Structure 1
Amino acid sequence: MKILFFSTKIYDQQFFTAANEAFGFELKFMELPLNKSTAVLAKGHEVVCVFVNDIVNTEVLQELSAQGVSLIALRCAGYNNVDLKAAEALGIKVVRVPAYSPYSVAEHTMALILTLNRKTHRAYNRVKEGNFALQGLMGFDLHGKTVGLIGLGKIGLATARILKGFGCRVLGYDIASSAKAESIGVEFTDLDFLYRHSDIISLHCPLTPDTYHIINKESIRKMKNGIMLINTSRGALIDSKAVIEGLKQEKISYLGLDVYEEEADLFFEDLSSKVIQDDVFMRLLSFNNVLITGHQAFFTSNALEKIAGVTLENVREFGEGTSLQNEVKP
């Protein structure tokens, strides 16, 4: 079976090639993203494998169908970039990797929290220049702080366990209750209570119509002064302009992002020699209490091995006509 990969980097080729030794598929890797202009390149491939910022809308799906594609294999957990209804109408199956390494994202979440709090990134630069002054580097004890987690799936639970280890009080909000969350001491609350009582809020929910811009002007108004906001989930969970206002008004004292609503034109590329045209993103970068990483929370060897293995297993199930364990339906 032939699989065409869009939006690949060297590490994608490395891990998928290694995993494919157990499957024997014919793999073709492309750096180009999937969009309406590149979909025609899928001719002769029954499967296309895509990533978080590839465009898989109705127009693209129609072109893929015309080229003979019958399976979209997402090498990620999120699927908000795929028009599932259009795929179903065209008879194209969609599969994903629902869980790879929740620890990778949970641990990166903690890295953002600790770096913002103790300002280790700024201390590193000072010491490199021979500046050992401590003024402006003061942090706070995480022990005893209240952290609100929005989303208590595998990543949210992994984050909760780490936070409990630090001695934090952990509040949690999810659309469904979780016995596992209760067993590790997470206190279930509604969003209003979480907003009003948390010192730190971290997002771990999927992007849906209900969670789009869940962090907005109104929700920020309800938060404590000096709140720390962390997002390692989906960029569009946050209204960036509302967050900028919160930073300017000093309502938000710390902001850590691994995702950004308009990241498709920025992340995963080296733009160091170019002028970035996104004014909102550049405004965020201008604050010294904002820390942004380029969608790297998932990026561990453990996670990439799991992503490659599960993705290719999804393709094998499709090829053999068996039940698709990780199928995504509208």
Structure 2
Amino acid sequence: MSKIGVTIYGCSKDEAVLFREMGPRFGVEPTITDAALSEVNIELALGNSRISVDHKTQITNSILLELSKVGVKYISTRSIGCNHINVKYAERVGISVENVTYSPDSVADYTLMLMLMAVRNVKSIISRADIQDFTLNAVRGKELRDMTIGVIGTGRIGTAVINRLRGFGCNILAYDHSPQTFADYVDLDELLQKSDIVTLHIPLNADTKHILNGKRMEQMKYGAFVINTGRGSLLDTEALIQALESGKLGGAALDVLEGEEGVFYFDYRKKTIESKLLLRLQKLPNVLITPHTAYYTEHALSDTALNTIINCLKFERRK
């Protein structure tokens, strides 16, 4: 049986190990590069009509056009979201785009961790302990059982978050255009007005960009918390900062951020960060920032590699 060639761009060392191990078992011969897809390395796709890209790289229309010229017919993005690719333009130049699914538990676990850290003021506690100040925080923490949690988006990840929250005994509200789980669904305005914590789990698209904007933050309860493990642009970051600085909101925990590209996944200890929004957020004692790492578990990476291969095989059978 002839092997199927797949070019894998932006492949980390951990992913490369998985692709090299799994590929031969499925008759797939991977061409692997740690470099992100760009105009300068499109030739690596020559001879392979299928490629895989990471979620960190914006795939421009000009790159899509060049890919079509070298015979690429299919892109499997190693992410749940496709907001870094113009899918409609890709289709116009003859390229199909699909995402992969992976364990929703990775992001769901992380979301609960961020919630707990936010409501227990963990950033402040750890910062003081690091300088050997072991006094109690002036602000007491909160318990989830006493709170109402609003879950915006109830796909696989949002549902997994709801399932975990039930164990804490808290009140749970949900919002989604297409309800997919057993939950107390309400409209978005009611969810914002009643929730002590709002957590975002919807895809980013033209309709959901800045779904949590300044006007909607004004609807939220005084002292409420925002958790975002979805996509940075679901939040209007400038409005969020204003709501935090004014005291309207009690805190935020963000694993994703507007303008994270070129900052997250890079070592900036000896470089200057240009993002003014990130720098302002980092100065706030009630804001936790992590670098888009909620998905990053052994199980989820294994799922991603396996489902990338399966996607490419399914496309081959459809040809």
Distance in 1 separating the partners of 2:150 and 2:53: 32
**Paired residue for 1:253?**
250
Distance 1:163 1:19 in 2: 35
Q: Distance in 1 between matches of 2:139 and 2:20?
A: 45
Q: In 2 relative to 1, CA 29–122 (structure 1 residues): closer, same or farther, beyond 3 Å?
A: farther
CA gap 1:165/1:263 in 2 versus in 1, 3 angstroms:
same
Residue 72 of structure 2 corresponds to residue 42 of structure 1: no
Structure 1, unmatched stretches of 5+, are 323-330
Task: Give CA-to-partner distance per residue, 1:18-52, whole Å, 9 cap, x none.
Answer: 22242232222222222345435433332221121
**1:247-277: CA deviation from partner (whole Å, max 9, x where unpaired):** 1111111111111121111112222221111
Q: Distance in 1 between matches of 2:268 and 2:171?
A: 40
- For 2:102, the equivalent position in structure 1 comes to 100
1:326 aligned partner: none
TM-score scaled by structure 2? Answer: 0.94
Partner of 1:311: 308
Contact 1:35 / 1:55 at 8 angstroms: preserved in 2? no
2:239 aligned to 242, 255, 278, which one?
A: 242
When the two chains are superposed, the root-mean-square deviation of aligned CA atoms in Å is: 1.7
- Contact kept in structure 2, 1:40 and 1:63, CA below 8 Å: no
Residues 1:165 and 2:179 aligned together: no
C-alpha separation between the residues in 2 aligned to 1:214 and 1:130? 41
In 2, Cα distance between the equivalents of 1:14 and 1:138? 46
Query: Segments of 4+ in structure 1 off by > 6 A?
Result: none
Q: Secondary structure at the match of 1:264?
A: coil
Which AA in structure 2 matches 1:216?
N
In 1, are the aligned partners of 2:201 and 2:230 still within 8 Å (CA)? yes
> 1:91 aligned to 2:105?
no
In the aligned structure 1, how far is the partner of 2:229 from the partner of 2:98?
22
Aligned residue type for 2:21: A
Quickly say closer, same or farther: Cα 1:93–1:135, change in 2 above 3 A. Answer: closer
How far apart in 2 are the matches of 1:40 and 1:17?
21
- Which whole-Å CA distance do the structure 1 matches of 2:38 and 2:236 have between them? 25
Give the conservation status (yes or no) of the 8 Å contact 2:123–2:288. no
Q: Which residue of structure 2 aligns with residue 328 of structure 1?
A: none
Measure how far apart 1:82 and its partner are: 1.5
Q: Distance in 2 between matches of 1:37 and 1:217?
A: 41
| 1:137 CA displacement | 5.5
Corresponding residue number in structure 2 for 1:327: none
- Pick from 51, 58, 67: which aligns with 2:70? 67
Classify the secondary structure of the residue corresponding to 1:26. Answer: strand
Aligned-pair CA distance for 1:160: 0.7
TM-aligned CA distance change 1:303 to 1:248, over 3 Å: same
- For 2:210 and 2:39, locate their aligned partners in 1 and report how far apart those are by CA, in whole Å: 27
Q: Report the alpha carbon displacement of residue 138 of structure 1 after superposing the two structures with TM.
A: 2.2
Cα shift readout 1:149-205 (whole Å, capped 9, x = no counterpart)? 100111111101111111110000000123xx32xxx21100110110000000000
The alpha-carbon deviation at position 128 of structure 1 amounts to 4.2
The alpha-carbon distance between structure 1 residues 21 and 204, as it changes in their structure 2 partners (threshold 3 A), is same
In the alignment, structure 1 residue 206 sits paired with structure 2 residue 203: yes
Aligned residues: 316
The aligned counterpart of 2:56 is 53
CA contact (8 A) 1:4 1:28 kept: yes
Residue 284, structure 1, aligned to residue 281, structure 2: yes
The answer to whether the 8 Å contact 1:19/1:305 transfers is no
Say whether residues 1:301 and 2:304 are aligned partners.
no
State the secondary structure of the residue aligned to 2:17. Answer: helix
